[in-house]
């Protein structure tokens, strides 16, 4: 974090540059230079001799000879897939088909960037019956987050998590939209001690926990 003294010095330098620029512009106005075209018509050598290098830089900017590299900023990647259904969905089969397609697309993108999924956010949108005589149906939502103990790009492991959760999910209204988002991480490289071994199938463990949560409730698992 910059110190107070450093910040003060930066502010002073900025104030000095602004003062110098205002002085140069005032002189140019006295000469009848009011537009960029007027400034570009001057010769840089006499201009620099009279007003200094700052005036020459202004002339270079006015004539398009000064270049300043753009600092490109890559927007943050958003790993999210969503779809709205033309017809309301009331069974799990078409929903699972769409979710598998989502996972295939997400893991393909993650693999290209050498990333893995450490959390999935699953969201459903329902078409509730109209209330109070309104013709349009109201919309409610259901959202669930899956924390993945061993982050992975395996479509099969991630799909089993979603499938197991849907087996325990009961909805009162038909589904009109679904979305799936992934929080990502770098692949972990773990070194185990002599008598330590990794889980054979951490995805199966998470699947079992998901099933128990659906049956017993989150507070009992």
Per-residue pLDDT 10s for the chain (221 aa) are 455 566 777 777 888 888 888 888 899 899 898 888 888 888 889 888 888 888 888 888 888 877 666 777 778 889 999 999 998 998 889 999 999 999 999 999 999 999 999 999 999 999 876 665 554 556 789 999 999 988 999 999 999 999 999 988 888 889 999 999 999 999 876 554 554 555 555 555 555 655 556 555 555 55
Tokens of 143: 């959202």
- Domain ranges in the chain are 4-63, 80-220
Please report the DSSP string for 88-132 in residue order: EE-SHHHHHHHHHHHHHHHHHHHHHTT-EEEEEEEEEEEEEPP-T
Is residue 58 within 8 Å of 24, Cβ to Cβ?
yes
Is CATH 3.40.640.10 correct for 80-220? no
């Amino acid at each position: 974090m910059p110190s107070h003294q450093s910040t003060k010095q930066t502010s002073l330098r900025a104030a000095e540059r602004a003062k110098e620029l205002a002085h140069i512009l005032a002189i140019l106005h006295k000469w009848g230079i009011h537009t960029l075209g007027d400034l570009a018509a001057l010769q840089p050598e006499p201009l620099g001799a009279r007003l200094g290098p700052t005036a020459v830089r202004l002339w270079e900017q006015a004539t398009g000879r000064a270049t300043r590299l753009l600092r490109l900023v890559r927007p943050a990647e958003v790993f999210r897939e969503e779809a709205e259904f033309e017809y309301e969905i009331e069974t799990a089969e078409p929903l699972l088909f769409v979710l598998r397609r989502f996972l295939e697309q997400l893991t393909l993108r993650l693999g290209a960037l050498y990333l893995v999924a450490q959390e999935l956010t699953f969201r459903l949108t329902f078409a509730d019956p109209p209330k109070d005589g309104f013709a349009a149906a109201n919309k409610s939502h259901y959202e669930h987050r899956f924390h993945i103990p061993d982050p992975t790009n395996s479509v099969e492991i991630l799909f089993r998590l979603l499938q197991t959760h849907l087996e325990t999910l009961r909805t009162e209204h038909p589904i009109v939209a679904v979305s799936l988002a992934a929080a990502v991480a770098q692949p972990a490289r773990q070194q185990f001690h002599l008598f330590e071994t990794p889980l054979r199938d951490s995805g199966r463990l998470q699947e079992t926990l998901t099933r128990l949560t659906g049956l017993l409730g989150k507070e009992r698992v």
